[in-house]
Amino acid sequence: MELSLLGKVAIVTGASRGIGLATAKEFIDSGAEVVLVSRDESALAEIKSNLGQKAEYLAVNLGHLDEISKITEFVLKRYSRIDILVNNAATNPYYGKLSDIDLMLEQKTLDVNLLGPLELIKLVYNLYMKDNGGSIVNIASVGGLNIEWNIGFYNVTKAALIHMTRQLALEMGPAVRVNSIAPGLVKTKFAKKLWEDKETSIAENLPLKRIGVPEDIANMALFLASDRSSWMTGQVVVVDGGASVIPSGGVS
């Protein structure tokens, strides 16, 4: 089934590696004009040497809320439209109990994972999508649906992102569709601490016998961004290799 984004303009944040980069590549291959946004300017420069003029590249830190308007200013000046927004940028600077987290780390995580996406959505919606339509895809996490040790505050922000997705779907329809993806464990540098030394044992316990790769999530982002999902909004789509269907006793 061909999923075409021909003629569409997309913004993908956190696009210098992992899920964001895979999504940007998938969109480009499907015909979209894509603006890759990342705080890592050197990584964007390296990507540009490979992708070249197939995309535009913009260095903006989503955690610096006063910089976010640079994204919409750039895209609207360059393309005069914004059809798709993928909020993928995320951070997790703290590993431990909620009761011990430092206020500064709380704020940093909130800014990047929740407030930054909201500010960008507000700009994209009010400056273009409100009158012209569009699709917004928020990359959340299965952690936003479950309870886990040591990454609790990260998961709190992802749970909030999921709820925000549903609220915005209500408020922005019918012109704009807003959906989210909740990835399970994906083989990225961001999640390296969770899989690096135990990939084989984790995979063995999954129904599909492997952990995810960025392209697994990018494929779902493409579907949600395309017109093929035109009757979907306010949804959280779990893409986890079947982890969520494993009984408490494990796989037999």
Residue showing tokens 């998961």: 155
Q: How many CB atoms lie within 10 A of CB 164?
A: 19
Query: Do β-strands 33-38 and 134-139 pair in parallel, antiparallel, or remain unpaired?
Result: unpaired
> If we measure between CA atoms, which residue out of 171, 51, 165, 166 comes closest to residue 118?
165
197's CB contacts (< 8 A; 6+ apart) are none
From the list 57, 94, 125, 154, the catalytic residue is 154
Distances (CA, A) of 120 to 8, 111, 125, 129, 218: 18, 12, 8, 12, 20
The yes-or-no answer on residue 154 being catalytic is yes
CA 69 to chain centre: 19
The set of catalytic residues is 154
